[in-house]
Each structure stands twice: as structure tokens, then as C-alpha cells.
Chains A and B, each alone.
Chain A
Amino acid sequence: MPNFNDILVLLPEFYLVAAACVLLLADAFMTPEQRPQLHWISIVVLLVAIYLVIAGQPAQTVTAFGGMFVRDGVGEILKIFALGTTAMVLVYARPYLVDRKLPIGEFYTLMIFAVIGIMLLVSAGNLVTVYLGLELLSLSSYALVALNRDARLPSEAAIKYFVLGALASGMLLYGMSMVYGASGMGGTPGLGLAQLHQVMAYTTAPKLLLFGLIFMIVGIGFKLGAAPFHMWIPDVYQGAPTPVTAFIAAGSKLAAFGMAYRLLDAGMGDLAHQWQLMLAVLAVASLAIGNLVAIVQTNLKRMLAYSTISHMGYLLLGLSAAGPEGYAAAMFYAICYALMGVAAFGVMLALTRAGFECEEIADLKGLNQKSPWMAFLMLLAMFSLAGVPPLFGFWAKVLVLEAAIHAGMLWLAIVGIVFAIIGLYYYLHVIKVMYFDQPAEGSVLEAKPDVSLRVVLSLNALSLLALGLYWGPLLGWCRHAFGL
């Protein structure tokens, strides 16, 4: 039964809920002049949350509320990076919001609620908690996408996101209900992932269980944005305000990995031989569709959307290895992707101004002449996304490929590497536009004078290089979380 200890275990989450409510109230009572201060307050709120997560790190896995919530190493790492990348997004977002006069208060509050959703999701110990966290994240994201509600494209994106997201949630819920039925247990404990694992061996309805599993994988595939459940990704990425896109690219991918890990390993680990191949198929489809369709994109956000799909393919490569090694590699990949994605969108945000979205690839023409530092940061992000050593993205790819080979799926690794070559082209194309082309007539392309944005963005992009040169500790940390 809930007691004080349970609350302590959930302290970072409770703290964030309280902080979000305070922010909401503050927003209501602040004058328009005071409102920009919410920016710094929310960043501090997130930093304090990171501190609480780190400071309260339990020595071993702790559960709360009867196993509904699990606090372990995996959750901690995902939370730290989700909070960290979200804080970065907030830093990058400020000039964008101010220039476009978007509702500031709502943005920060919704962002924090979305992060709470992520934190619940990655710590879920129970099917209900999974659903709860997922919906909190999704609903906040739908609203965030529609933040600029008067424009056509964002509204369209939000509706698409909502309709498809609701469908996916329904699938997930349907799958969960089947699994619950197949487990043959009554009452809420039956929804616990750990218990599910135990009863799996004795189920009298293996077919029902398998059906449930398939529906759950559809839900996971949707959240990850893996093909063939990727339809929403390009429209949402393109239509959403760029800071929101950055958040969806970073935070929600970490969440999706956490959710996949909780459901598949903690809950359905015994069916690994079943879902391994399903994930492999999703991985191949994502790699193919993501990389091939990205080649023809002219809109940078849309290209990055397809690139996300392909990156989720690589992440699935690690997941489908279905072992601690593979999970560690996939988590490493998710963290890596979050940092790369935020950096790439960060450069776009640094270059935008009112009336200039900087979202076409052609908009970056001659960036190296106009603003060499921004071009260099984007170069780092692009080479990292492409997986060229010595940048971070390369090592993440190596890890998932190794995991796939280790699991005896050499063919999958070869498919992965072949699509890495194809994917190289569109990243190189961006670099080509920035470095080899002359700037268009009258193009301004100046980075925002905002110091915090410049500093954080530089650190963000340089971290891709630094982590590429020395990624041992992070890998060790990820492996430690999975007991290696």
C-alpha cells in the first residue's frame, strides 16, 4: 500500500507535477512582459529534476505502489537524457517562440507534462502505468504540435498525429487486454509486467497471447515511428513548430525505447523468439523506407523525419537482438539519436527568424560563407547521423550491428550496413549545400545573437565529436544498467 517511501521513489515525478502546476498558475497571473521569465524558470525546473533523479538513484532496483513503478538503472539513464535534451530544446526554442509570438506559458507547461509522461513510461512496471505514461506524453505532444493553431500546416499535422496516435493507442490497449486475458490472472497485479513474465509459461491460451503481442508491437512500432507505422512522422515533423519537432525527435524516442524495453523484455521476455523476427522485419522496412524516401526530400524537416525512421530501424536492430547486450546497444543508440537530432534541429532553430523558417534544404545554401561556425555544427550533426567515424553516430551504429551479429543475425547487420551507404547520400547532400554551394541572392543566414542558444548548441554538437572520441564511459553506463 502507498506509503511515504513510495512517494520518495517517485520524488522527481511528483516534483515535476507540482512544478508544472505552479508554472501553469504563474502563467495565468503574469503580465505579458513578465512571461518570458518562464523560460529560465522551466529550464531550472528541469535541471533540478535531473539533480533529483541522480541524487535519489537507488543502489538497486526499487519498486513503488505495488510494483506499478520501477526505478532502476535503465529508467534513470533514459530520464536523465530525456530531461537533458528537453532542457536543450527549451534553450533553442526561446527565440523561435518570441519571434512568432507563440503562447509561451502553454509551451513550457506542456513540455513539462510531456516529460512527466516520458518518466512514467520508462519506469513502468505495469501495463496500466505504460498506458498512463504513454497517453500523458501523447496528449501533450498533440497539443504542442498544434501550438501555432492559426496556421494550416500545424493544425493538419496535429489532427493527423492525433487520429493515428489514438488508433495506435487503441491497438496497444487491445493487445494489452488480450495479454491480460491470456495471463489468466484477476485484479491489478495481473497487469504487472514482472508477474506477467512468471505466468507466461503456464498460459493456457498461447495463441491469444501471441495476438496480444502483435497488437502491442503495433503500438510500439507507432511510437518509435518504425515502418510500416511511420505514416505520421513526416507530416508531424514538417508541420510541427521546429522546437516541438526537436522534442519529438529526442525525448519521445527515448520514451519509445523505454516502453519497448519494458513491454518486450520485462513483460514478454519469454516470447523473445516470437518478437525477435517481428522486430527484425520492422527494422528492415524502416531502414528501406526511411533511407530511400529521404533521398528525394527537399524539406529539411521532412528529410530528417525519414532519417528518423531509418534510425529507428537501427535501434530495432539492437532491440531485436533480445539480450542485455542488444538492449544496451539500442539504448546507446537512442541516446545518440536524441543528441544528434536535437543538434540538427538546434542549428535550424538558430538560423530561423520571423518569416524565415529555414526548413528547406536549399535555405542552407552557402551557410559556410555566411556563418561558418553554424555550418560546422551542422556538419558534425550530419556526419554523425550518417555514421561516419570518428563521430558519435558511427559508434552507435557499430554497437547495434555488433549486437545483431552477436545474436546470430548477420544478414540483418548486412542489410543495416547497406542502407547506411544509401543513407549517406542525403546527409552528404546537406553538407554539399552548406559548403559547396554559393549563398542565394539576399540570403541572410545569421545565427541568433542569443548567447545561451549559441553556447548550448555548440556544446551539444561538439559533444557528438567528444563522445565519438571517448564513448567508453557512456557505453559502460548503459551496459551496467542492463547488468553487464
Chain B
Amino acid sequence: MFNHLLSLLIWLPVIGAVPVLLAGSNRPDTARWLALLVAVATFVASLFLLVQYHPDVGGMQLTESHLWIAAWGVHYSLAVDGISVALILMSTFVGILVIVGAWEVIQDKPHQYMAAMLMLEGLLIGVFCATDALLFYALFEAILIPMFILIGVWGGPRRVYATLKFFIYTFFGSVFMLIALLYLYQQAGTFDMATLAALPLSMKAQTWVFFAFLIAFAIKVPMVPVHTWLPDAHVEAPTGGSVVLAAVMLKVGTYGMLRFILPIVPDAGGHFAWLIIVLSLVAIVYIGYVALVQEDMKKLVAYSSVAHMGFVTLGIFIAFLLVREQGNVEMARLGMQGAMVQMISHGFVSGAMFTCIGVMYDRLHSRQIKDYGGVINVMPWFGFFYVLFAMANAGLPGTSGFVGEFMVILASFTANPWIALFAAFTLVIGAAYTLWMVKRVMWGDITNPHVAEMKEINGRETFVMIAFAAAVLAIGIWPQPLVHLMDTSVSQLVQQLAIHKI
């Protein structure tokens, strides 16, 4: 059975969604418990990854491969490295929390909601372990279907606009990647990602392929200027949808960069690294300012997600600069490592922030900052968690938010102090928009009489909060296990950056 651990991880939630769906709208509790059972089982199964995967060996492990489409030589092939393991663990962890978080909140067709969540989780895990480009692409696109339904059915007032925009926007990006993959298939005769990584390509071809990949992944991340779908999708999505979107789905974009742009088109990647770095800095600085003026809490956190993801792309592409222009592999590793930690950290922090906003929305049915004020007076425990997550969002040392950003800034300082200067701006802006929001929502006197009626979080919500808080603090205080898990894989990735394929 353990030879098929990865398949199990993908298919358990996907198949598990079927009985949840069959439970029907007449037995909502059966559906909920079944969904929780499946999510917990998936999480437990994913813990076996830590046993089976050997971090010191590195490379792709737990390989599974079956011939899928004989005529094209496409394989159903799965494997993981340290980065994938970390992302899968995060997905299964968040998977449980969104099910628990939606328990009583979703009253309308809970079975469909839970089933869509489980399917989404399974497909996302699939994206993180596919090693065949066509399989990756199919899963990469398939995640749009459950997300489309989640936003459209359980979303806010402008959900139809938001979900259509989300679907068409992301679909638009990825079709160009499909063309690029078909082109690569003609060159290499296979979709196997390891073979594609070894395929020599001219600079012209690499440039085209690079931009085709970039548009697909940049929209997913999202990078400036193609981030405009994200605030809409986040604002209108139900809480669970926002959590998965921010915590896991955005990572698919940066993960795709690691798996496609880095190994397949390294020369073009190096050549255009400045472009990504500039866009990342724009995301960090400009989007930070945009976040500052938001009046809707979800929008604020959505924009801060764009800024934080800017750090991930900055960390990845600063490594290009360091390796290719300065030959500084050690610092490149640090930058890449920082980007990876930031990915995981942002997953927990943004997930937690959206959960907090969901908790408040359930009580007051408003996401406007001006409707709140003095919440800490009526919900002290909730206030504690809210402030903790806000601090993590601002990158306070001791929380997970600090570790990744610090590593990336350090690496970029070696590359170019100016880049580090702009990147470090986030410490100011991030603190500004987050703390200002905390000030307006949490502190002060209660001005809105409805706030006075808000009830303290119940046991279920406390459980979700504690789980998120534990993850945020664990990574913040003792990041070593996470770093160790990904270290060898990151080194191997960085070595690939130096390879010239022309």
C-alpha cells in the first residue's frame, strides 16, 4: 500500500467526496462527519510522508509511474521532493481546518460544499506531486472546477462576477502554457518533466516558452499586474474558499515556477529575472500601499497576500541573479530557502487571517472595517488570536512571517542592496496596514451597538484558531525542521539554475 502513498493521498479525498455528496441535503450531519473523517484520514496518511521521505537524500522520491496514454507516452507519474512534502502537509492540515471551520456556517447544501472542498484538496495534492507535465496541467486546470462552484454557490453578493472572472482569468493564463507544453512535447517526444528539464532549447524558444509559463503561473500567484482577479475572488468567496485559495492555491503558481521555469527554461529565466524581480518589488511596495487604503478587511488581506507572494517570487528569482551573475550559490540557497519558508508561512498566516475575518463576518455580516471597533472588549480570546495572526502577517520576529522574509531580504542584499531596500519596505508597510486594521477593528470603544452583541468564539472556532496559531508559532520559533525537510531539494534546485541549456 505504501508504494502508492501519493496516489492514496490524491484519491482518498476525491473518492471520499462521493459518499459525502451521496449523503444528500437531508442528512447534513452525516455529510459533515464523513467529510471530517476523510479529511482527517488524508492528513494522517500525509504524515506517513514524513516517515517515507528521506530529506537528506533529496531528489524525487516515492516515485509511482504507470503508463497512462500509450499513444503519447504519457505516464501517470507521481513523486515528491522536500518542497512538495511540505506543501502537501500544509494542504492536508488546512483541509481539516476548513471542514471544521465550515461546520455550522454553511447551512445551504453542506454536503455539496464539503464534497467540493475535498475534491479541491485532492486535486491540489495531485498538482504538488505530478511529475508528468500533461498530468500536472490537467490537475492544474481541474482545480478551477470545484473552486468555481465554491465561490459561485456559497459566495457573497457579487459572487457570480467574481467567480466568472476568477475562472476565465486563470484559464486564460494556463492555455498558453498548454501550447508551450505541446511545443515541448514535439521537441522532446515526452511530457516527462525530468526529460524536459534536460532538453536543450535555443534562447528564442526558451523565451517564448518562458513567457507562456510565466503568464500561466503569474496569474495564479498572482503577480502584479495580473493580480486583479484575486481581491474579487477573495472578497466574494466563502471563508473556507478564501482560506484554501490563499493558503494552498496561490502556492500552485510559485510551485509551478519551480517545476517548470527553473529547470526547463533556465537561460530565459536568468535573462528575464530582473523583470520578475521588478514586478515582485512592485507587488511588495505598491500593493502594500494599496492594502493600506482598503476598507474591506478581506480585500486588505487579499492585497497583503499579493505583497507576501511577491516575496516568494523575489526569493526564487533573486537566486537566478545570485547564481548566474555572482556565482554565489550559498546566498542563492538562502534566498530560495526563504521563498519556500515564506510559501508555507503565508499559507498558515493568510489562512488564519481569513478564518478570523470569517468568524467576525458570521456574527456581524459585514467585512467593512468601519463597522467594527472594540471587538476585543466582547471577544477577548478571539482578539488574542486575531492580534497574533496580525503580527505574523506584519512579519514580527517569533512568528512564521518573519523567517521567510528575513531570509529573502538577506539574500537580496547580497545581490543588490537596492533590491533589499525596497523589499525591506514591507516591514514598514506591512506593519502599517496590519496594525492600523487591528487598531480600528480590535481596539478602541465599541461604537457599533451590534458589536456589543458579538459572542465569544465557541469550542470549534477555538480549535481552528489554536491549530493555526500552533503552526504559525512553530515555524516562527523553530523553523529548523521545515528548513531541514526542504534543504536538500532547495540545494538541488539551485544547482539547476546554473545549467546552461542553449
Kindly provide the distance from the CB of B187 to the nearest chain A CB, expressed in whole angstroms. Answer: 11
Chain B residues with CB under 8 A of A413: 179, 182
Q: Are A471 and B69 in contact (CB under 8 A)?
A: yes
Chain A residues with CB under 8 A of B51: none
Chain B residues with CB under 8 A of A472: 67-71, 74
Mark interface residues in B396-414 (1 if CB within 8 Å of A CB, else 0).
Answer: 0000000000000000000
Instruction: Give Cα distance in the complex from A432 to B155, angstroms.
Output: 13
Q: Are A436 and B145 in contact (CB under 8 A)?
A: no
Q: Is A345 engaged at the interface, CB distance under 8 Å to the other chain? A: no
Kindly provide the distance from the CB of B178 to the nearest chain A CB, expressed in whole angstroms. Answer: 7
Kindly provide the distance from the CB of B22 to the nearest chain A CB, expressed in whole angstroms. Answer: 10
Kindly provide the distance from the CB of A425 to the nearest chain B CB, expressed in whole angstroms. Answer: 6
Interface residues of B in 183-225 (CB under 8 A from A): 183, 185-186
Chain B residues with CB under 8 A of A424: 167-168, 171
List the A residue with the shortest CB-CB distance to B176. A417
Q: Are A402 and B171 in contact (CB under 8 A)?
A: no
Interface residues of A in 402-419 (CB under 8 A from B): 402, 405-406, 410, 413-414, 417-418
Pick from B146-154, B422-430, B478-486 the stretch touching chain A: B146-154
Chain B residues with CB under 8 A of A479: 71
Instruction: Give Cα distance in the complex from A484 to B70, angstroms.
Output: 12
Instruction: Give Cα distance in the complex from A281 to B171, angstroms.
Output: 25
Known: A417-B176, A421-B172, A428-B164. A475 touches B71 (CB 8 A): yes
Q: Is A247 engaged at the interface, CB distance under 8 Å to the other chain? A: no
Q: Is B336 engaged at the interface, CB distance under 8 Å to the other chain? A: no
Interface residues of B in 62-81 (CB under 8 A from A): 67-72, 74
Total count of chain A residues near the partner, CB < 8 A: 33
Chain A residues with CB under 8 A of B69: 471-472, 475
Interface residues of A in 145-187 (CB under 8 A from B): none
Q: Are B71 and A476 in contact (CB under 8 A)?
A: yes
Q: Is A398 engaged at the interface, CB distance under 8 Å to the other chain? A: yes
Known: A472-B68, A475-B71. A405 touches B183 (CB 8 A): yes
Kindly provide the distance from the CB of B141 to the nearest chain A CB, expressed in whole angstroms. Answer: 5
Instruction: Give Cα distance in the complex from A402 to B186, angstroms.
Output: 9
Known: A405-B183, A435-B153, A471-B69. A421 touches B175 (CB 8 A): yes
List the A residue with the shortest CB-CB distance to B74. A472
Partner of B186, one of A405, A414, A471: A405
Q: Are A405 and B164 in contact (CB under 8 A)?
A: no
Chain B residues with CB under 8 A of A435: 149, 152-153
Q: Is B159 engaged at the interface, CB distance under 8 Å to the other chain? A: yes
Partner of B178, one of A398, A431, A476: A398
Kindly provide the distance from the CB of A139 to the nearest chain B CB, expressed in whole angstroms. Answer: 38
Kindly provide the distance from the CB of B175 to the nearest chain A CB, expressed in whole angstroms. Answer: 5
Chain B residues with CB under 8 A of A420: 175
Kindly provide the distance from the CB of A430 to the nearest chain B CB, expressed in whole angstroms. Answer: 12
Kindly provide the distance from the CB of B39 to the nearest chain A CB, expressed in whole angstroms. Answer: 22
Chain A residues with CB under 8 A of B71: 472, 475-476, 479, 484
Chain B residues with CB under 8 A of A414: 179
Known: A424-B171, A428-B167, A471-B69. A417 touches B141 (CB 8 A): no
Q: Which of B109, B142, B153 has the most CB of A within 10 A?
A: B142
Q: Is A389 engaged at the interface, CB distance under 8 Å to the other chain? A: yes
Q: Is B137 engaged at the interface, CB distance under 8 Å to the other chain? A: yes
Kindly provide the distance from the CB of B50 to the nearest chain A CB, expressed in whole angstroms. Answer: 29
Kindly provide the distance from the CB of A281 to the nearest chain B CB, expressed in whole angstroms. Answer: 21
Instruction: Give Cα distance in the complex from A310 to B148, angstroms.
Output: 24
Q: Is B359 engaged at the interface, CB distance under 8 Å to the other chain? A: no
Q: Are B168 and A428 in contact (CB under 8 A)?
A: yes
Chain A residues with CB under 8 A of B178: 398, 401, 417
Q: Are B179 and A394 in contact (CB under 8 A)?
A: no
Q: Is A92 engaged at the interface, CB distance under 8 Å to the other chain? A: no
Q: Is B160 engaged at the interface, CB distance under 8 Å to the other chain? A: yes
Chain A residues with CB under 8 A of B137: 389
Mark interface residues in B126-169 (1 if CB within 8 Å of A CB, else 0).
Answer: 00000000100111011011001100110000011001100110
Q: Are B138 and A402 in contact (CB under 8 A)?
A: no
Q: Which of B144, B172, B178 has the most CB of A within 10 A?
A: B178
Q: Is A24 engaged at the interface, CB distance under 8 Å to the other chain? A: no
Instruction: Give Cα distance in the complex from A418 to B173, angstroms.
Output: 10
Q: Which of A389, A413, A432 has the most CB of B within 10 A?
A: A389
List the A residue with the shortest CB-CB distance to B25. A372
Q: Is A383 engaged at the interface, CB distance under 8 Å to the other chain? A: yes
Interface residues of B in 228-256 (CB under 8 A from A): none
Instruction: Give Cα distance in the complex from A388 to B167, angstroms.
Output: 11
Chain B residues with CB under 8 A of A406: 186
Q: Are B141 and A394 in contact (CB under 8 A)?
A: yes
Instruction: Give Cα distance in the complex from A418 to B171, angstroms.
Output: 10
Q: Are A421 and B153 in contact (CB under 8 A)?
A: no
Q: Are A417 and B160 in contact (CB under 8 A)?
A: no
Mark interface residues in A378-398 (1 if CB within 8 Å of B CB, else 0).
Answer: 000001000011100010001
3 closest pairs, A vs B, by CB? A389-B138, A472-B69, A436-B152
**Interface residues in chain B, defined as those with a beta carbon under 8 Å from any beta carbon in chain A:** 67-72, 74, 109, 112, 134, 137-139, 141-142, 144-145, 148-149, 152-153, 159-160, 163-164, 167-168, 171-172, 175-176, 178-179, 182-183, 185-186
Query: Told that A388-B145, A432-B160 touch, could you supply 20 new A-B pairs with CB distance under 8 A?
Result: A389-B137, A389-B139, A390-B138, A394-B138, A402-B182, A402-B185, A402-B186, A405-B186, A410-B179, A413-B179, A413-B182, A417-B175, A417-B179, A418-B175, A421-B171, A425-B164, A435-B153, A436-B153, A472-B74, A475-B71
- Listed by A's residue number, 13 A-B pairs whose Cβ atoms lie within 8 Å are A368-B153, A372-B112, A388-B145, A388-B171, A394-B138, A398-B134, A401-B178, A401-B179, A405-B179, A405-B186, A421-B175, A431-B148, A432-B160
